[in-house]
Structure 1
Amino acid sequence: MTRNSLPVLGLSLAVSLAVSAPLAANATDIVVATVNNGHMIEMQKLTHYFEQANPDIHVKWVTLEEGVLRQRMTTDITTQGGQFDVMTIGMYETPIWGKKGWLQEIKPDASYDVDDLLPAIRSGLSADGKLYAAPFYGESSMLMYRSDLAQKAGITFAERPTWDQVRDAAAKMNDPKAGIYGICLRGKPGWGDNMAFLTTLVNSYGGQWFDMSWKPQLDSKPWHDAITFYVDLLKKYGPPGSSANSFNEILALYNEGKCAMWDDATIAASFITDPKQSKVADKVAFAQAPQQATAKGANWLWAWALAVPVSTKNSAAAQKFVNWATSKAYIELVAKEEGWAHVPTGTRKSTYANAQFLAAAKFAPAEEKAIASANPNDSTLPKSPYTGVQFAAIPEFQSIGVTVGQQMSAALAGKETVDAALKASQLAAERELKKSGRLK
């Protein structure tokens, strides 16, 4: 996610037009901005079905890397620029932007079945009881590992192992001469890149972003212990260049058979178990995200969701597209086209009640359990004044998370010591909260 809090200008956008049926002469163009993840690419491929059913609507796509997407969405929504009719945003932005009146309430028809949405996901995309973004896919995080390498090393994982046990397993499975690294973890800077993972690691060590007086806690012992552990773990058992890796980079490494373990988004499971994409598809097993001092906040909660900004001039068409892309019917369409193992998950109860999905997706029980166990209202061992698991749901967090992410990436790359990175992060967080008036 965001790696730079400044607006990005002059970008070469990856704009793709969906293959469509013949358009009505007065067709309405809607512009959908999304992230370059696998499920979103699939949505673009299937958009011609939407256009066939709605010949008066033509969908144009702007597809961006996560960090760039965040910058563009934030700039457009805060300036009411109106460049986009549908935005792909998440559980951090949705309640904040909804409360500010920047998003339209999502009001699908009865056939959409809002009550079928998983409660934790629906709640995270709502503000004051109103749904402001519809979930396209939801996720938590979990440990994904090579069952063949674990068996060879004599390793048996508990349902939720400790990070010390993961470190020991990484040491046993690490074989860089064979091109296999003991563990792969995010290192690319960004509040939704390395800091999504690192916040859950810090949570598991008993840490938090801010105490009840809003004083940043980045110079505390849990942060120091967690980040020291992380840097040491990846230096010994991670792939070279880990400070440049986030979800897509590690997904490619894992599918090539180069990662013995990976703690990351549950949505990855549908890709690494796909024999069309993964060389180790039949050798993947799952455990819950590791804990250390506590299991609280050890695994995150997120949804990529579609929202309609109030600045759109094509409200009806935008709402119609959001309803289609996040419906039960869309999930069934993906199943028909690609198979049940490839449907977007983490959004609906009916998906996890579907026998065909459960038979095709061996990761489903672990994924569902991870999502259900994440509690954004109680994610830290000490009491915290914020909601959110891998982020703090306050406007200042985006800037703070970007800065801290850069410091943590520098520490991982050996450009800075852990102590210096945490000290600089503490000062930056204090400065941001004092500027906003939250910290006195």
Structure 2
Amino acid sequence: MALCAMLASASLCLGSGTAASADLAGNCCADLEERIAELEATTARKGNKKVSLMISGWVTEQIMGWSDGISSDAYVGTSLNDLGTRLHFDGSAQINAEWSAGYSLRFDVTGANGFVQDANNAKGGEGPPGLLNSYWWIKSDKLGRVAVGRQSHASDDTWVDLSGAGSIFAANLVIFDGQNFNLVPEGTGTRAKARWGDIATCYTVGVGIFADCGGDRTNSVRYDTPTWNGFVVSTSWGEDDFWDVALRHSGEFGSFKTLLGLSYQDNSSERINTITDSQLWQANFAFLHTPTGIFGSVHYGHETPDGFKDTDQLYLKAGVRANLNPLGATVFYGEYGHDKDMFSGLLGGAVFSGTTDICDGFAGTGGRIDNACLANPGGVEATGSKFSRFGFGVVQEIDAASMAVWLKYKNHSADVDFSSNGAGQSESMENLHIYALGGAVFF
């Protein structure tokens, strides 16, 4: 995305040089192109006589309140990986008039974060800095760019967004906040072993992230074509083995800025915690109406895991960028997401909860699933799930400090379908409510 390029090269985006994710992702965002030059002009630069060094990144923290139907509390923390605190070291050298080469080193500075925190753990996620990117690249203005090493692959962060960097931190298609909180079967007042991420698990990476299911870094070779009429084609291969291809377009049509992302990935590699071989399709479209500031983005993903039910992911976001004060743009937004049949954690693929099956995930809760498991040992299995989420918030950009602050609300709801001796049933979960006041400073 434009912001992807912005975040990638100016340390507002989250990727290997394209678009954020999310998250486990690398190039997730899109924003205003003119911000790139402004940010680069204030970035610390050094290096030897031949190769430059650019240091950039961001620091982000928030106060997150939550209520899971049993109790409530508030924690201080950040988000995971791409939306957490970041440190970038990038460099390049000009070989001749056409060719250039360079490198990228990027680290996430890990602290307590909403992806790992839960009702009993306010310090979740703390640890040493982690390596995100480590690759070199060589580029021809006519032939394109090749990169080799640990990086964001071609289909990572197919999601695009023109709402602004701060809005992407506040509202993202990946469930950076709350995925590790325990599910609470409705009316039981008891937390299950199963967690929200267990019914939002991507088979490709085996982690409960809701969407952007190819959103991890890979050891790979990536190729990006030169831009032609706003189009860029990318492909990558690596690990043992995956391959993917993506098409992206950035354009302006009258008073509208638009971004398009399409991708396909075929994975047979054991990546983070891959559950099975899978194929993943993703499509995204985003727009910004420049005179009014009205924006929108829609993302659809379809994953086909070998031996399991297909899954579907839908994420919508819309709002307006308004100039209400001299500090910078004020962004109002709303978001909605719906995932179907992403219950791999209840079939023994859970990363954070460690559930072995649906009965293990809900044992001792006294809910419908637990009662069915007690009545029919070995005769209960998960057959499907629905996970819906919505949220809204406001982001204030502070241009003079290269900063954004936000206030947001998120709501998670879910149903798990199961069969007991062949008879279909369903159990609803208590809603998870999340409130947060946070901010990010980019440097």
Tell me the TM-score range normalised by the shorter chain.
under 0.3
Larger helix proportion, structure 1 or 2?
Answer: 1
Larger strand proportion, structure 1 or 2?
Answer: 2
With a CA cutoff of 8 Å and minimum separation of 6, indicate the structure with the bigger relative contact order. 1
